[in-house]
Structures are given as C-alpha cells and as structure tokens.
C-alpha cells in the first residue's frame, strides 16, 4: 500500500496502491470486496502504466504532507485560541460592566442617603431654631414683665417742662429721677417719671413702673410707664 488519504468533506478515504500491475489489481479487488461487505465502497481504478507527470498529483512527499497537516493544525489551533480569547474577553467585559453597575448603584445609594441626611438636618435645624426662638421670646416677655412691674429707689434731680404732651399726661408734673441703691449710689441713667405725690427736687422717692402705675380706672389708658408713688423719709439698712 502506497498511501491512505483522508479526503476533505463527506468523510471519504482514498487508498492508493502502487507496484506490479497484477499485485495491485489483486490488492484492489481484495479491498473492494471488503468495502462492499460493509456497504462502504465508492469506486476503484487501476492505472497500468501512469504517466510520470501524474506522480506529483497522486503522491505527496512526506515533507509536503507534514506541512499541510501542520497548516491544518495551526488553523484549528488558531480558531480555538481566537474563540478562547474572545470568550475570555467577553467574560472580563461582563465582569467590568457588572462592577461598573454595582459602583453606580452604590454611588446612587450614597447620594440618596446624603440627600436624606441633609434634608433631615435641615428640618431639625429649622425645628431647633423655631423652638429656640419661641423660648427666647418667652424669656424676653417674662423679663419685660418683671422689669416693667418693679419698684425702685430714686432721687429727684430735676423736672421737665413740656407745653405740648399727650392728653393722658395733662395734670401731672414730669420729674427727672436718678435711680440709686440703698447706699445712695447711682445704678443706671436718669429717667422721666410722672409725679403722683408732689415730690420736690432733691427728695428720695419710691418709683413704680409698668402696669402697676396704671391700676386706677382713670389711668388704665394712660401712656405713663414710670411714676413717683411715694416720698421716702428715711432709709434703714
């Protein structure tokens, strides 16, 4: 037997035999009978004296066969390698896309949390400011109430002449008073007070303030906020 060639496509096999014509014919007949028994026979041909030019057509050198087989293997390996690389790149790209999606999702979640925290802080700040403002207003009202409804000691240091004044001040002398402590020391700046008791300059007086000096019916609508309500004869400390 000279050669066995596996043809491309259809899965056929070509068996090539060379030698003496009689021996070749006997070998072909034997192979033909065996192939027919398996129902695999296609055709056979004996060429008694082939032309020399057909040698290259029917017979490949060993090196040529190796080269052809190597090229086929390279093509097969190249295709497999390319597919392997493509599959690997596809898997890596899918992982990258998944990481990017997860990263974007995490960033979005963080932004949402930051916005919620900022809104919560803003609302709480407003509530705190509102509460503080209410407390401050309440304290201020209390202080004004306390400070406006007290009595203190003062010395009359002068009087005020006003030809034009509010109608509720008509009939009252307006005296300049200097608030003092029990030791006779000044405690704050002078003020103007309406004189209810006829005090004179230089006298120690008791001064009332706020709503307490407007308790009488005829004084409820008055603009008076400070009034001399008593003349002090002596201070015992």
pLDDT tens profile 75-132: 666 677 777 878 888 888 888 888 888 878 888 888 888 888 888 888 888 888 888 8
Q: In this structure, which topology does domain 149-231 adopt according to CATH? A: OB fold (Dihydrolipoamide Acetyltransferase, E2P) (2.40.50)
Mean per-residue pLDDT, 7-11: 57
Instruction: Judge whether residue 59 has pLDDT over 60.
Output: no
- Segment 152-169 shows an average pLDDT of 92
Across the range 49-54, mean pLDDT stands at 68
pLDDT value, residue 208: 92
Backbone φ, ψ for residue 13 (5° rounding): -125, 130
Would you state the pLDDT for residue 31? Answer: 78
More confident residue, 175 or 28: 175
Average pLDDT over residues 176-180: 95
Percent of the chain's residues with pLDDT above 70: 79
Judged against a pLDDT cut of 60, whether residue 70 lies above it is answered with no
pLDDT mean across residues, the chain: 79
**With 90 as the cut, is the pLDDT of residue 11 above it?**
no
Q: Is the pLDDT of residue 184 over 80?
A: yes
Q: If you average pLDDT over residues 199-223, what whole number do you get?
A: 87
Interval 31-56 mean pLDDT:
74
Q: pLDDT band at residue 46, thresholds of 50, 70 and 90? A: confident
Low-confidence winner among 64-78, 108-122, 176-190 (lowest mean pLDDT): 64-78
Q: Are 205 and 177 in contact (CB under 8 A)?
A: yes
Return the pLDDT at 229. Answer: 92
| Residue 207 neighbours by CB under 8 Å, 6+ apart | 151, 152, 153, 154, 177, 179, 193, 226, 227, 228, 229
């Amino acid at each position: 037997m000279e050669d066995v060639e596996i043809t491309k496509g259809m899965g056929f096999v070509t068996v090539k035999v060379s030698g003496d014509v009689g021996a070749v014919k006997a070998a072909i007949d034997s192979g033909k009978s065996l192939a027919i028994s398996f129902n695999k026979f296609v055709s056979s041909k004996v060429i008694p004296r082939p032309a020399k030019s057909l040698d290259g057509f029917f017979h490949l050198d060993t090196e040529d066969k190796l080269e052809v087989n190597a090229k086929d293997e390279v093509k097969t390996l190249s295709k497999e390698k390319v597919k392997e690389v493509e599959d690997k790149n596809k898997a890596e790209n899918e992982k990258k896309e998944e990481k990017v999606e997860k990263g974007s999702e995490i960033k979005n979640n963080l932004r949402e949390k930051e916005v919620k925290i900022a809104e919560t802080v803003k609302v709480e700040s407003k509530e705190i400011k509102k509460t503080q403002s209410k407390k401050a207003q309440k304290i201020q009202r209390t202080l004004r109430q306390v400070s406006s409804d007290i009595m203190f000691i003062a010395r009359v240091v002068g009087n005020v002449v006003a030809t034009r004044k509010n109608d509720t001040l008509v009939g009252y002398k307006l005296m300049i008073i200097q608030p003092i402590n029990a030791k006779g020391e000044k405690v704050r700046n002078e003020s103007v007070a309406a004189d209810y008791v006829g005090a004179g300059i230089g006298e120690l007086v008791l001064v009332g303030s706020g709503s307490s000096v407007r308790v009488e019916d005829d004084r409820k609508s008055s603009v008076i906020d400070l009034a001399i309500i008593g003349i002090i004869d002596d201070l015992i400390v």
